[in-house]
Amino acid sequence: MSDFPACPSCGSVYTYRDGALLLCPECDHEWQAGEETLPDDDFVVKDAHGNILQDGDTITVIKDLKVKSSSLIVKVGTKVKNIRLVDEDHNIDCKIDGIGAMKLKSEFVKKA
């Protein structure tokens, strides 16, 4: 492929040079050559298929999820719009129609 290093943010091998910067077309991360470490506040959330999620994305639930302390179930195929990523155990904050505010793990969703 190319002789450029993989993206330090998402690991993509499709990086390219633009002037003095190296760029990743998959996650839009920019960095200087030799600066391959991530800042401490930068985190990446990936769905069950390895796609990078961002704030405002639409996702689809890939497994029936039981809601704690309730008899409700989030069914497979439920679409969730306008997600918010947080750096916690359940790394997606969202609102699901008919259920309300929820926290989801990214391993149970895919990017729509």
Percent of the chain with pLDDT over 90: 53
pTM above 0.75, yes or no: no
Residue 42 pLDDT: 67
Residue 35 pLDDT: 63
Least confident of 43-47, 94-98, 107-111: 43-47
Angle at 35 between CA 30 and CA 39, to 5 degrees: 75
Give dist(CA 50, CA 107) in Å, integer.
9
Residue 37 pLDDT: 52
Residue 107 to residues 27, 45, 62, 85: CA-CA distances in angstroms? 19, 9, 9, 13
| Mean pLDDT of the residues in the chain | 87
Q: What is the mean pLDDT of residues 73-96?
A: 94
Over the stretch 32-79, which tens digit does the pLDDT of each residue have? Answer: 877 655 444 568 899 999 899 999 999 999 999 999 889 999 999 999
CA 4 to chain centre: 24
